[in-house]
Amino acid sequence: MIDSARANWAGNLTYGAAGVLTPRSLDEARELVTGAERVKALGSRHSFNDVADTPGLLLDLSGLDLPVTIDAAAATVTLGGAARYGDVVRQLDEAGFALENLASLPHITVAGSVATGTHGSGERHPGLAAAVSAVELLTADGSLHSFCRGDIDFAGVVVGVGALGVLTRLTLDLVPAFSVRQDVYDALPWPAALAHFDEIQAAGYSVSLFTNWARDVVDQVWLKNRVLRSASGGSLPGAEPPGSLFGAVPADGPRHPAHAAGVAAGNTTEQRGVPGPWYDRLPHFRLGFTPSVGAELQTEYFVPRAHAAAAFEALRGIGDRIAELLLVSEIRTVASDDRWLSPTTAGDRVALHFTWLPRQSEVEALLPLIEARLAPFAPRPHWGKLFHGEALDLAYPRLPAFRTLATRIDPTGKFRNAFLDRHVFAG
Ligand SMILES: Cc1cc2nc3c(=O)[nH]c(=O)nc-3n(C[C@H](O)[C@H](O)[C@H](O)COP(=O)(O)OP(=O)(O)OC[C@H]3O[C@@H](n4cnc5c(N)ncnc54)[C@H](O)[C@@H]3O)c2cc1C
């Protein structure tokens, strides 16, 4: 039986930590960090690997009651280290603001998301960490440090993979609130997907392709586009969704990403072109419902966008092997950013995501084959999902700088764990 207090969201990992503690104040959190030999922050537990684990203490910051403060003049919001996107989006919208982008679900904490380089989709939008303009970090000696955009170490601290300390406050950039319509197309022939990939990416503010790699069509294309924020919700000039998309046809009803695997659309955000607020269209899944499928595992690799078509062909070459274990794969584009350990640092990337059946040993046996197929394209892994690691490009240009920073900020390795030792500090 899974000890739910100690398990991650997917239930595939029981944390080996000595305890999960919920400090009631920042001072208490500081005391716990100071007194602990090994410690880490825990977010909403949506990671699929041991990135958040520690042999010491896990700190759940949800008891800290830190306020959400909107600075309308600066167009920023400051929130606490336990805030989930879904906790703040309505308040932002009511104040006339939005976040530029969101991941597929609003259930995840901002701190945990940016720590692992979490992203949404859209060729013009970098990962969620790019919206962070300042953080407050509780470090190993119990002191609080502020890092702001422009500070020398700032770009190293934001996607910290939990290695530097506890993010107690984060400040995010805001944009004016906007509305979005979401249109789903069925059955895009693979030859058209390959030939028109760039045009398809350009057809939406956020674009997702769903496939199992084995069929001769991409099962679905989701286009999310901004619309006028008026009662009519009319399209912005030039942004009318096409009647068909390179052979794909408008879906005749709501779709779950894993529709082809028989999953119904009950937990998805509104589709069929119905306009709605950014926070209720950019994520695929609604807060208040189990996101995605629930009984699942996830993996994701990022390859340079220039290699998108070749990487798709490499995966289609083992499509039958992948499909046996797959609920659905999602293809997204993510713009480049400057965060040192971001999977999309220094160049636009295509994100190749896999939602697996919960058959971990079989999935883990398949991952080396997938990574070998992608190896010519220098794939990087999602820090929060399952990966093998040997054939991956973990040589981020700023990795040496990150290691130096981590050693300076956390000299005794209080925030280190087995995951970081294997993938960030090895070698
Ligand atoms: C159904 C589902 C859908 C998903 N969709 C997407 C998606 O669309 N795009 C995408 O990129 N990813 C996606 N993910 C992955 C998810 O975004 C990441 O796993 C993310 O890290 C989850 O955040 P969390 O709050 O659950 O972090 P946790 O899993 O709790 O922790 C992750 C890491 O963050 C660190 N951390 C957490 N809080 C803090 C803090 N306050 N200070 C310092 N470090 C901290 C932890 O120590 C750990 O190292 C999805 C996951 C699931 C389960």
The predicted-structure confidence for 409-424, as pLDDT tens digits, reads as follows: 999 999 999 999 999 9
How far apart are the CA of 112 and the centre of ligand 1, in A? 4
Which of 62, 87, 105 lies at the terminal end of a domain, its last residue?
A: 62
Rounded Cα–Cα distance for residues 97 and 303 (Å): 32
Query: In whole angstroms, what is the distance from residue 229 CA to residue 233 CA?
Result: 6
Distance from Cα 9 to the centre of ligand 1, integer Å: 10
How far from each other are the two terminal CA atoms of the chain, in whole angstroms?
Answer: 37
Asked, for residue 262, whether it belongs to a domain, the answer is yes
* More confident position, 104 or 392: 104
Domain CATH number, residue 245: 3.30.70.2520
Is 130 contained in some domain? yes
For ligand 1, atom 53: residue with the closest CA: 46
What residues are in contact with ligand 1 under a 6 Å CB criterion?
Answer: 9, 40-47, 51-52, 61, 81, 103-105, 108-109, 111-113, 115-116, 118-119, 161-162, 166-167, 291-292, 298, 382, 384
Probe ligand 1: pick from 8, 30, 39, 42, max atoms within 8 Å of CB? 42
pLDDT at 183 over 80: yes
Burial 138-167 (b: 16+ CB within 10 A, else e): bbbeeeebebeeeeebbbbbbbbbbbbbbb
Mutation probe of ligand 1 site: the residue of 30, 113, 207 with most atoms within 8 A of C-beta: 113
- State in Å: Cα 128 to ligand 1 middle: 11
376 and 409 fall within a common domain: no
Q: Give the pLDDT of residue 407.
A: 97
What SS3 string covers 288-308?
CCCCCCCCCEEEEEEEEHHHH
Residue 319 has a pLDDT of 98
- pLDDT higher than 70, residue 3: no
The least confident of 135-144, 251-260, 362-371, 390-399 is: 390-399
Spatial distance between the Cα atoms of 187 and 191, rounded to a whole number of angstroms: 12
Q: Looking at the structure, tell me whether residues 36 and 98 fall in a common domain.
A: no
Cβ atoms of residues 100 and 84 within 8 Å: no
Q: Which domain holds residue 304?
A: 179-381
How many structural domains is the chain composed of? Answer: 3
* Residue recorded with tokens 């001769």: 216
Same domain, 263 and 333: yes
Percent of the chain with pLDDT strictly greater than 90: 92
The predicted pLDDT at position 2 comes to: 46
358 & 211 share domain: yes
Closest CA to 49 of 88, 78, 12: 12
Residue 396's pLDDT band (cuts 50, 70, 90): confident
- Mean pLDDT computed over 142-155: 98
Mean pLDDT in residue range 195-219? 97
Checking phi first, is residue 243 left (phi over 0); if not, alpha (psi -120 to 50) or beta?
alpha
Contact status, residue 92 vs residue 68, Cβ threshold 8 Å: no
Rounded mean pLDDT of 311-329? Answer: 98
Tell which one of 109, 263, 425 to mutate to probe ligand 1, the residue whose CB is within 8 A of the most ligand atoms. 109
Do 7 and 47 contact (CB within 8 A), yes or no? no
- Domain ends where: 12, 39, 62? 62
Residues 49, 73 within the same domain: no
pLDDT of residue 395: 73
Question: What are the distances in angstroms from CA 319 to CA 67, 257, 308, 365?
Answer: 48, 18, 16, 15
- Identify the three-state secondary structure at position 123: strand
Q: What value does the mean pLDDT take over residues 213-220?
A: 98
Query: Does a structural domain hold residue 389?
Result: no
Q: In this structure, are 94 and 217 located in the same domain?
A: no
Contact partners, residue 50, CB within 8 Å, separation at least 6: 13, 16, 417, 418, 419
Q: Whose CA is nearest to atom 20 of ligand 1?
A: 113
For residue 238, name the pLDDT band (cuts at 50, 70, 90). low
pLDDT of residue 65: 84
Best CA proximity match to 335, nearest among 319, 346, 324, 323: 346
User: Could you tell me the pLDDT band of residue 1, with boundaries at 50, 70 and 90?
Assistant: very low
In a domain, 345, yes or no: yes
Chain-wide mean pLDDT for the chain?
95
356 Ramachandran zone, left/alpha/beta (phi>0; psi -120 to 50): beta
DSSP state of 198: H
Whether the Cβ atoms of residue 61 and residue 80 lie closer than 8 Å to each other: yes
Number of the ligand 1 atom closest to the C-alpha atom of 104 = 8
